[in-house]
Amino acid sequence: MNREEALKKSDDALKELALALQQGKSDTLVKYLDMLSRFHNYSFGNCLLIALQMPIATHVAGFHRWKSLGRYVKKDEKGIGILAPLANRNKKREETEDDKEPEERRSALRGFRVVHVFDVTQTEGADLPEFAALGGDPGGRLLSLETLIRSQGIHFEFVDALGGANGVSEGGAIKIVESLPVAQKFSTMCHELAHELLHRGDRRAQTTKAVRETEAEAVAYVVCRSVGLECSTRASDYIQIWNGDEQVLIQSLELIRDVATHIITSLDETQVNVEEVSHAA
């Protein structure tokens, strides 16, 4: 694909992304965020307790909370023990807890008790709403993308886990979770490569997190569209989670367009080279 064709694909994809952002949150995102809002934010100490007892835990809730979500704890499942505060019932509650200083809040407690929560894998029932997914298969372009990343002088590796993230860009290094579905793996690699190309110089200090995530995900969206992946509302949903919107996208349009076009044309060139080496071998 030559540069003119790549530019045309970039422009078409970005117009569709801008329209999706203009329309606001998709039904998929609304349902997903509503589901997340029902899960308690555990303290650091309780997060450690959960991690020690079940390292693979993702979504954790109590028996009754799971029931309200249409899911039920499986028979004979062992709960994950965490600590729940016991309020001092004798202390007058003329102020709300949020109005009190930390010392006052602590004095309103009379101790802790162990309660049990369960991970989603320990439950069954109605499916939980999920974040919008990607579909399709990039084929040989996955290897081409890995080759392209390495050709930029960026260290690249697949890893087992990244603490809940799909991938990370560390300034000269990219790590991607190996177990991701192939379409998501390709998209995440594009996203992290965009971070490396756009956000590892002096410009980083001049941008916000919302701008950086909008730019990286928009680049990934354009490249994924160019190789025929089914993108649904994933890119616009992701951008909105980071408080990005159509205006943020428009302000960075030229940068996104240039980087996406560079990756698209480079992927085709890299794929040709990879195929030539393969045939020669």
What's the pLDDT tens digit per position in 154-171?
999 999 999 889 999 999
Among the residue ranges 74-88, 93-107, 241-255, the one predicted with the least confidence is: 93-107
Q: Find the Cα–Cα–Cα–Cα dihedral 5, 7, 8, 9, rounded to 10°.
A: 90
Least confident of 107-116, 195-204, 260-269: 107-116
Please tell me the predicted confidence (pLDDT) of residue 125.
95
Higher per-residue confidence, 127 vs 109: 127
What CA–CA distance (Å, rounded) separates 195 from 173?
11
Type of residue at 267: L
pLDDT at 95: 44
Cα–Cα distance between 27 and 78 in angstroms, integer?
A: 35
State the pLDDT confidence band at 122, using cuts at 50, 70 and 90: very high
Task: Write down the pLDDT at residue 279.
Answer: 47
Q: What was the pLDDT predicted at 108?
A: 61
On the question of pLDDT at 139 being above 70, the answer is yes
Output the pLDDT for position 272.
55
pLDDT band at 276 (very low <50, low <70, confident <90, very high): low
Mean pLDDT over all residues of the chain? 88
Cα angle for residues 26, 28, 34 (degrees, 5° grid)? 105
Query: With contact defined as beta carbons under 8 Å apart, do 133 and 184 qualify?
Result: yes
Please give the pLDDT value at position 163: 80
Higher pLDDT, 279 or 149: 149
Measured distance CA(134)–CA(213) in Å, rounded: 18
Q: For 31-68, what is each residue's pLDDT tens digit?
A: 988 888 888 888 989 999 999 999 888 899 999 999 99
Q: What is the pTM of this model?
A: 0.78
User: Which DSSP symbol is given to 206?
Assistant: G
- What is the DSSP code string of 80-135? EEEEEEEE-TTS--SS-GGGS-HHHHHHTEEEEEEEEEEEGGGEEESPPP-----B
pLDDT reading at 98 higher than 50 = no
